[in-house]
Structures are given as C-alpha cells and as structure tokens.
Amino acid sequence: MPHVQFTRHLNLHFPELRDVDVEGGTVAEIMDALDRLHPGLAAYLVDDRGALRPHVNVFINEELLTDRTSLSDPVGPSDRLFVMQALSGG
C-alpha cells in the first residue's frame, strides 16, 4: 500500500492526522481514502472540482505531482507520498 506522510503544520487543522498507508492507484484515489480516514481533509487539500489547491504540493517519492487538475498521477503499492502545505507570512 502507498505510504502517505504529511507536514506537521496540517496537525493544527487535523490533530489526529498521522502518516498512514492507504489503498489507491492514483493520487485522486489516495485523497478519497485519506478523506474517509480524516473527514474534511480532502476539502482542505483539493477544491470543489477535485484539483489540488494552490497552497498544497504533493510529491510521489521525490517527484512533484504532475497532474494538479484531476490528480491522475499513478501511485504504486510501494510509493511514498508527501503532502505539503505552503506557509506564508512574516
């Protein structure tokens, strides 16, 4: 199963969020699985059309996700995903 890791900043909004193994063959399927585990998480990461929000990046292994619109990038069973939220401010 793919392994998903998160930046710790997301714990401010989802205190129960932990790195996890989830079923899924695409990033979209992974997002759906994560939302079942943590309701509301997908809405925080993707917009109402299913596209990745501008302040979020997803890496599959060391490669940045290429399809930010439909999240169709394939994910293999031994892949590692890293979900990162950009921070701003001063």
Residues 83, 5: contact at Cβ < 8 Å? yes
CATH number of 3-85: 3.10.20.30
Mean per-residue pLDDT, 2-15: 92
The whole-number pLDDT of residue 1 equals 95
Percent of the chain at pLDDT exceeding 70: 96
Would you state the pLDDT for residue 31? 96
Query: Which pLDDT band, with edges at 50, 70 and 90, does 87 fall under?
Result: low
Tell me: the pLDDT tens digits for 47-74? 999 999 999 999 999 999 999 999 999 9
Indicate the average pLDDT of the chain. Answer: 93
Report d(CA 61, CA 49) in Å as an integer: 25
List the domain boundaries for the chain. Answer: 3-85
pTM for the whole structure:
0.91
Cα-Cα-Cα-Cα dihedral sign, residues 83, 36, 20, 80: negative
The whole-angstrom separation of Cα 41 and Cα 25 is: 19
Specify whether the backbone of 44 is left (phi greater than 0), alpha (psi in -120 to 50) or beta. Answer: alpha
d(CA 13, CA 10): 6
